[in-house]
């Protein structure tokens, strides 16, 4: 006779759990995640959340070691919720800061899905939409192959970025995806309304993989085969992709430069607003 791994009672021949016990545990996990999300959105007393979470856990076969992951999922949900209706507000920023401050080693133990990076992206876009040059909010550690100027700061750095060029324009005509958009001021796409398509790489010529950086002055790219920097003022159109973006400089001989394996939503909002600001 097997014993249920949740309640410890007899589960029947060749059985290791009661279905009902498992369902109860899953329901308990869901309710902890929701409690955490609600806590962040409404900024209650952390002690209240903690005792509520512990109570739900003890009543639903949830181990203490499993709680960090559930706090993390609640945080992910709260961040998605906050970013859904636009850029983060100062009040929301302080709620997130309050939650984060409750944990030691928040980044490694709780925020395992890097939701905090979404928050930082939103703060950068908030600066821009308020008409301000964003301050540098990232601490880029690693080898940065760019000789940035005095007063130039990194806003965002993507690594492992594939760079492609569009060689033959006629191949592209009539394709539904990859619409070029003239860069315009004050554009903001919410995460849900931004619907780019993935970069279709077989329509492009792959050049190399490298680092793509956005500073307060330029777009930089560095790889073993090709490196360049482009001032935002030279950019005229941008193609939004789900996982990339296409940039076109002014000038008749300019070819669209397509980057993939990046956050297309953020890049699109960042570049269009930097162009109108600098």
List residues binding Zn ion (CB under 5 A). Answer: 4, 6-7, 18, 21
Task: Give the containing element (helix H, strand E) for 275.
Answer: helix 264-277
Cβ proximity of 211 and 159 under 8 Å? yes
Cβ proximity of 266 and 247 under 8 Å? no
DSSP category for residue 259: E
**Residue closer to Zn ion, measured from CB, 12 or 131:** 12
**Residue closer to Zn ion, measured from CB, 21 or 33:** 21
Distances (CA, A) of 224 to 32, 168, 200, 208, 211: 48, 24, 23, 7, 10
Residue 73 Cβ vs Zn ion, minimum distance, rounded to whole Å = 24
Residue 22 Cβ vs Zn ion, minimum distance, rounded to whole Å = 8
Residues paired with 208 in a beta bridge: 163
Residue 98 Cβ vs Zn ion, minimum distance, rounded to whole Å = 38
DSSP alpha helix (H) spans, 110-247? 115-129, 169-172
Residue 18 Cβ vs Zn ion, minimum distance, rounded to whole Å = 3
**Residue closer to Zn ion, measured from CB, 61 or 241:** 61
**Residue closer to Zn ion, measured from CB, 24 or 98:** 24
What distance in Å separates the CA atoms of residue 266 and residue 194, rounded to the nearest whole number? 10
Residue 31 Cβ vs Zn ion, minimum distance, rounded to whole Å = 19
CA-based nearest residue to 273, from 134, 66, 89? 134
**Residue closer to Zn ion, measured from CB, 11 or 183:** 11
């Amino acid at each position: 006779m097997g014993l249920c791994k949740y309640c410890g009672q007899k589960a029947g021949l060749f059985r290791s759990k009661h279905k009902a016990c498992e369902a109860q545990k899953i329901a308990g996990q869901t309710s902890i995640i929701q409690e955490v999300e609600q806590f962040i959105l409404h900024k209650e007393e952390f002690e209240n959340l903690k005792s509520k979470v512990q109570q739900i856990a003890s009543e639903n076969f949830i181990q203490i070691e499993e709680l960090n992951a559930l706090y993390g999922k609640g945080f992910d949900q709260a961040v998605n919720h906050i970013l859904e209706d636009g850029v983060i507000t100062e009040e929301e920023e302080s709620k997130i800061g309050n939650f984060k401050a409750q944990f030691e080693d928040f980044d490694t133990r709780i925020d395992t899905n890097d939701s905090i990076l979404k928050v930082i992206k939103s703060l950068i876009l908030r600066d821009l939409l308020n008409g301000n040059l964003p301050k540098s909010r990232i601490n880029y550690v690693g080898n940065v192959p760019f000789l940035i100027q005095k007063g130039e700061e990194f806003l965002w750095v993507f690594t492992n970025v594939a760079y492609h060029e569009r060689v033959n324009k006629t191949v592209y005509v009539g394709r539904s995806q990859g619409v070029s958009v003239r860069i315009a001021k004050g554009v903001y796409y919410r995460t849900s309304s931004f619907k780019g398509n993935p970069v279709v790489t077989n329509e492009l010529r792959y050049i190399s993989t490298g680092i793509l950086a956005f500073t307060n002055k330029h777009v930089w790219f560095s790889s073993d085969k090709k490196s360049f920097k482009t001032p935002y003022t030279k950019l005229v159109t941008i193609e939004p992709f789900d996982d990339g973006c296409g940039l076109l400089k002014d000038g008749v001989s300019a070819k669209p430069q397509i980057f993939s394996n990046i956050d297309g939503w953020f890049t699109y909002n960042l570049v269009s607003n930097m162009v109108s600001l600098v």
